[in-house]
Chains A and B, each alone.
Chain A
Amino acid sequence: MEAEAAKLIGAGLATSGMIGAGIGLGTLFGNYLQAAIRNPSAAAGQQAMLFLGMALTETMGLFAFVVSLIILFAS
Chain B
Amino acid sequence: MVEQPTIDPMHQFLIHKIVELPSFTIGGLVVDMSITNSVASMLAGAVILVAFFALTARGQLVPNRAQAVAEAFYNIVDRILVSPIIGPGGKPYIPYLFTLFMVIMVLNLMGVVLALGNLGGLSLTFTVTSQLAVTATLAVLTFFSVFILGFIKHGPKFLGIFFPSGMGIFGAIAMAPIEMISYFVRPVTLAMRLFGNMLGGHVVMSLFGSFVVALGIVGLSGGLATLAFIPSALSFGMIVALTGLELVVAILQAFVFTALATVYLNEVVNFGHGH
Contact surface of A with B, Cβ cutoff 8 Å? 48, 51-52, 54-56, 58-59, 62-63, 65-66, 69, 73
In the assembled complex, the Cα of A48 lies from the Cα of B76 at a distance in Å of 10
Say whether B192 contacts A48, CB under 8 Å.
no
In the assembled complex, the Cα of A55 lies from the Cα of B256 at a distance in Å of 7
Given that A48-B259, A73-B10 are known contacts, is A59 also in contact with B192, CB under 8 Å in the complex? yes
Given that A48-B81, A51-B252, A51-B255 are known contacts, is A62 also in contact with B260, CB under 8 Å in the complex? no
Taking a contact as CB atoms closer than 8 A, the residue among A52, A62, A73 that contacts B263 in the complex is A52
Taking a contact as CB atoms closer than 8 A, the residue among B81, B192, B255 that contacts A66 in the complex is B192
In the assembled complex, the Cα of A58 lies from the Cα of B263 at a distance in Å of 18
Q: 26 A–B contact pairs at CB < 8 A? A: A48-B80, A48-B81, A48-B84, A48-B85, A51-B252, A51-B259, A52-B256, A52-B259, A54-B256, A55-B193, A55-B253, A55-B256, A55-B259, A59-B189, A59-B193, A62-B192, A62-B193, A62-B196, A62-B197, A65-B196, A65-B200, A66-B192, A66-B195, A66-B196, A69-B199, A73-B10
Q: Which residues of B contact A59 (CB under 8 A)?
A: 189, 192-193, 196
Min CB gap A21→B, angstroms: 11
Taking a contact as CB atoms closer than 8 A, the residue among B10, B200, B252 that contacts A62 in the complex is B200
Across the interface, name the chain B residue whose C-beta is closest to A69.
B199
Q: Which residues of B contact A58 (CB under 8 A)?
A: 193, 197
Known: A51-B255, A56-B189. 17 other contacts (CB 8 A): A48-B81, A48-B259, A51-B252, A51-B256, A52-B256, A52-B259, A55-B253, A55-B259, A55-B260, A58-B193, A59-B193, A62-B193, A62-B196, A63-B196, A65-B196, A66-B192, A66-B195
In the assembled complex, the Cα of A62 lies from the Cα of B200 at a distance in Å of 8
Q: Which residues of A contact B255 (CB under 8 A)?
A: 51
In the assembled complex, the Cα of A38 lies from the Cα of B97 at a distance in Å of 34
Interface size on B, residues (CB 8 A): 20
Main secondary structure of the interface of A (DSSP, over half): helix
Q: Which residues of A contact B253 (CB under 8 A)?
A: 55
Q: Which residues of A contact B252 (CB under 8 A)?
A: 51
> Which B70-94 residues sit within 8 Å CB-CB of chain A?
80-81, 84-85
In the assembled complex, the Cα of A67 lies from the Cα of B88 at a distance in Å of 41
Q: Which residues of B contact A54 (CB under 8 A)?
A: 256
Min CB gap B228→A, angstroms: 26
Q: Which residues of A contact B85 (CB under 8 A)?
A: 48
Q: Which residues of B contact A62 (CB under 8 A)?
A: 192-193, 196-197, 200
Most chain A CB atoms below 10 A, which of B84, B85, B256, B263: B256
Q: Mark B183-202, 1 if CB is under 8 A from A, else 0.
A: 00000010011011101100
Say whether B260 contacts A52, CB under 8 Å.
yes
Q: Which residues of A contact B263 (CB under 8 A)?
A: 52
In the assembled complex, the Cα of A13 lies from the Cα of B195 at a distance in Å of 21
Min CB gap A47→B, angstroms: 8
In the assembled complex, the Cα of A75 lies from the Cα of B200 at a distance in Å of 19
Q: Mark B235-264, 1 if CB is under 8 A from A, else 0.
A: 000000000000000001101100110010
3 cross-chain pairs, A with B, having the tightest CB-CB distances, nearest first? A62-B196, A55-B256, A59-B193
In the assembled complex, the Cα of A73 lies from the Cα of B203 at a distance in Å of 14
Say whether A63 contacts B260, CB under 8 Å.
no
